[in-house]
Structure 1
């Protein structure tokens, strides 16, 4: 095996090294691909700044991730065809909405 093949593949990087254009919807994308990409871009754009408080940061960052999961599940519900995938999408929406409510209540109780 050559040395090049023995090297691990480079991983996508966020920030300056991450080609954000790979997450940007393109005209040639299917409707579902556009929806998934829009979900990811929306999540990245609305992530809050870190506060330095591990608990607050965890709750706020997880809320963004959970909303992205809901958004992606809604794309599946609109465009997917597989009954099992759609069932999982419905379960994800219900579970993530419940967890977002828990997070919101926690943040409110902490005055955040």
Structure 2
């Protein structure tokens, strides 16, 4: 998959996982259980299942953490993009660490190492951009 495809997929995932989606009425436990899919996803959150491996639980935890910790949208397309991508990158690093802890395939492990390096580098770029944006928006004293 080329880099632009990865970025586009990341953007779509970030928007889909954002806590700013329209809220639906709270469901009772029976309704939530009835709507669970075969992968254990309930109400947008990946629920652990009895047969899940340690790795699967780790992947689900990383995705759920990302969804729970996504920052609120502020209405500025650039800032929203940067903040949402930062959360997505953090989840990618967490997933890559699960692969390194439990994966056996050499290619998958190499990709996990590459993902960590690339995502950490991009998080630094995002943090610098956000800090510069914040500094330029601050009123002069």
Which residue number in structure 1 is paired with residue 9 of structure 2?
none
| Pairing of 1:1-112 with structure 2 (within 5 A) | 16=24, 19-20=42-43, 23-111=46-134
Shift of 1:29: 1.0
Shift of 1:47: 0.3
Name stretches of at least 5 consecutive residues in structure 2 with no aligned partner: 1-15, 18-22, 25-34, 36-40, 136-141
Name stretches of at least 5 consecutive residues in structure 1 with no aligned partner: 1-12
Q: d(CA) in 2 for partners of 1:38 and 1:27?
A: 15
Q: Segments of 4+ in structure 1 off by > 4 A?
A: 13-18
Q: d(CA) in 1 for partners of 2:125 and 2:61?
A: 25
Cα gap change, 1:52 to 1:105, in 2 (>3 Å): same
